[in-house]
Amino acid sequence: MEKLFNSTRDNDNKLSPSRAIIKGLSDDGGLFVPQFLKDVKFDYKDFIGKSYNYIAKTILGEFLDFSKEQIDYCVDTAYSLNNFETEDIFKVVDVEDGLSILELFSGNTIAFKDCALSILPLLLKCAKENENDKDDVLILTATSGDTGKAALEGFHDVDGIDVIVYYPYKGVSRLQLLQMLTQKGSNVKSYAVKGNFDDTQAGVKEIFNDSDFEKELEKYGVKLSSANSINIGRLLPQVVYYYHSYIRLIEQGKIKEGDKVNFIVPTGNFGNILAGYYAYLTGLPVNKLICASNDNNVLFDFFKSGTYDKNREFKKTISPSMDILISSNLERLIYHMYDGDDKKVNDLMAKLSNEGKYTIDSEYMNKADNFIGGYATEDEIREVIKEVYEKDDYLMDTHTAAGYKVYKDSKEDDTYSVLLSTASPYKFSRDVYDSIFDDDVKASDDVEYMYKLNEKTKVNIPKPVNNIESFERREEEVITKEDMRNSILKYIEGKK
């Protein structure tokens, strides 16, 4: 089977898996998808009793044009006790009858993005070897908070690869900001961009689509790539933990082989839940993929009506990783819903660009009938954090709490459910603390709240953020969206 990836906007734009990882985003603005997806099938029974790394090697080996040695190197280097606090990488924790939580925050940045961003630098390094690519790679990433630190952490001091992270000025938590500013490495840089996350992400996309700027960078021997979830090298590693969690449920006696499971996924950019769809397409017994949003509920409206409409007020919430109105990875789902009709995808994306909305024909919308949308308001998120802590003695972050509320709202029968936990509660300590405790004790920022939350709950603070305020850090640099190209040139020239 020849392994080729094509753009969602041009089926004739085909690349090897290695080249697709290096490129990140297609020249036509589309996202890369595996042409051979329908031929990839896994028998989940083969994974029973096997390690996380075994499952990862099997799955990634089917999708990539890497040698066995390269796959082993990438997986075993990424998923080790150097990067994760538990040998099983991600714990599956029983919270209440019928519900387990897949804790995806055991990595160095205490958020789910560690899964993909601990291995992406290694995939990129091997992809460059496979393509005999001698150019330096510059990773550009827009972040609403978590991706930034995870990209900086994953790529720091990797030869031949530099990283610049852009985040919305005053649009991330103090802890997220400190995590970025304290990052070590001679090849990493972060900038605050005036505006919200959608402005920041749009700026990065414009740079990727600017052929003149691409030529300018070629003079320096530099190629751009992306660490955002638009990169197929981000998406594929996330498929692994869906299989992993299903197998652990069998081993724990929570389900029987073949039982279908619901997965509840708090998501903004749609990458995390799309990985679940790929797991479903490749053979995992999935019942429903339940998409949880916050007050920026554009995805909820989409799954309810078939219309995606970003023409609405952008709301800053206590679950900032879901504060997104343009869910980039949805384009991949739409491509699959339309059976690979690249012209249709082009039309819809042009409508999104020009009018801010598009509508899917109902017959095609039915092809995504295993998706359900739901959302939680600020008040509901706070109520859930308090309720679950008091009832189950379990501490959850604001995004996971949105998922729990949607789980409760959408529960129709006794189908076992897995809630994907987005981040450690200590990443959003202020809001978690204020949701549970009604005292008058106020702290100046979420780092102080982190210690207060620990004092009250006795839940351990993760090692990567304990005492973070004492770590050496750089000054925050603030730019406008229009300055983004210049910031890249300035960085490259400073390295020469």
What local confidence, expressed as pLDDT, does residue 1 receive?
A: 72
pLDDT tens per residue, range 231-255: 999 999 999 999 999 999 999 999 9
What local confidence, expressed as pLDDT, does residue 434 receive?
A: 94
Q: For the residues 130-138, what does the mean pLDDT come to?
A: 93
Task: Phi first, then psi: give them for residue 421, nearest 5 degrees.
Answer: -85, 125
Return the minimum-mean-pLDDT range out of 184-198, 380-394, 427-441: 427-441
What local confidence, expressed as pLDDT, does residue 285 receive?
A: 99
Given a cut of 90, whether residue 480 has pLDDT beyond it is yes
Return the minimum-mean-pLDDT range out of 275-284, 317-326, 367-376: 317-326
Given a cut of 80, whether residue 66 has pLDDT beyond it is yes
pTM of the model: 0.92
Return the minimum-mean-pLDDT range out of 68-72, 137-141, 353-357: 137-141
What local confidence, expressed as pLDDT, does residue 181 receive?
A: 95
What local confidence, expressed as pLDDT, does residue 89 receive?
A: 98
Return the minimum-mean-pLDDT range out of 283-287, 363-367, 395-399: 363-367
Given a cut of 90, whether residue 342 has pLDDT beyond it is yes
Domain boundaries along the sequence of the chain: 87-108+237-427
pLDDT tens per residue, range 35-65: 999 999 999 999 999 999 999 999 999 999 9
Given a cut of 90, whether residue 445 has pLDDT beyond it is no
Q: How confident is the model at residue 225 (pLDDT cuts 50, 70, 90)?
A: confident
Q: For the residues 70-81, what does the mean pLDDT come to?
A: 97
pLDDT tens per residue, range 159-214: 889 999 999 999 888 888 999 999 999 999 999 999 998 899 899 989 988 999 99
**Chain-wide mean pLDDT for the chain?**
94
Q: What contacts 440, CB < 8 A, 6 or more positions away?
A: none
Q: How confident is the model at residue 229 (pLDDT cuts 50, 70, 90)?
A: confident
Q: Structurally, what CATH architecture does the domain formed by 87-108+237-427 represent? A: 3-Layer(aba) Sandwich (3.40)
